[in-house]
Chain A
């Protein structure tokens, strides 16, 4: 298996090839990679692929790692059924 076929974002099944593809079209920031490939939008919100994608982006665009701000991640950072949010405090008493 060539490296590019490796799945980088396990939740959204995004491969290194997908990521390199958008980078070759001139993407330079993490949020752009996320929005175009969905890498980092899955259930774990980038906990698994965040660093990997940053490494690929840094290498492909030879930007220093420190300058690559992590993408925005959407709360809740923990997997949470929405039913919990809809219950008001009175329901709990």
Chain B
């Protein structure tokens, strides 16, 4: 669900349609909107899991300060998706925050 006609910002000007690869699934987005917006519009809330308690986290401050929305983008961890513009073909992965320096965990293995 995207806001098409904002009472203050007016009609949304969208970039061209692009596709993001999020954990292996294709997610439609508009060029230039930030990654977090595209993910939320696609119905996705959980962007990462915390190191200590494996708790799901996603957008919190939405202005680039709290780093709760960080994901692995094109292989690079700790990318703040709420302030990173989406570009076609980006490969985005859920970040299971590092313990002992390993950026990506197999989610299932972690859960049991």
Stretch from A22-30, A41-49, A62-70 contacting the other chain: A41-49
Contact: A10 with B57, CB < 8 Å? yes
Interface of A, secondary structure class, is loop
Would you call B70 and A79 a contact (CB within 8 A)?
yes
Interface string of B70-82 (1 = CB under 8 A from A): 1000001011100
Dominant SS among interface residues on chain B:
loop
| Min distance, Cβ B108 to any Cβ of chain A, angstroms | 22
Residues of B within 8 A of A13 (CB): 50-53, 55
* Residue B67 interfacial (CB < 8 Å): yes
Which stretch of B1-9, B18-26, B58-66 is in the interface?
B58-66
- Say how far B72's CB is from chain A's closest CB, in angstroms: 12
Report the separation of the CA atoms of residues A33 and B76 in the bound assembly, to the nearest whole angstrom.
31
Contact residue among A10, A12, A79 (Cβ-Cβ distance under 8 Å from B60): A10
Chain A interface (Cβ within 8 Å of chain B)? 10-13, 42-44, 47-48, 79, 81
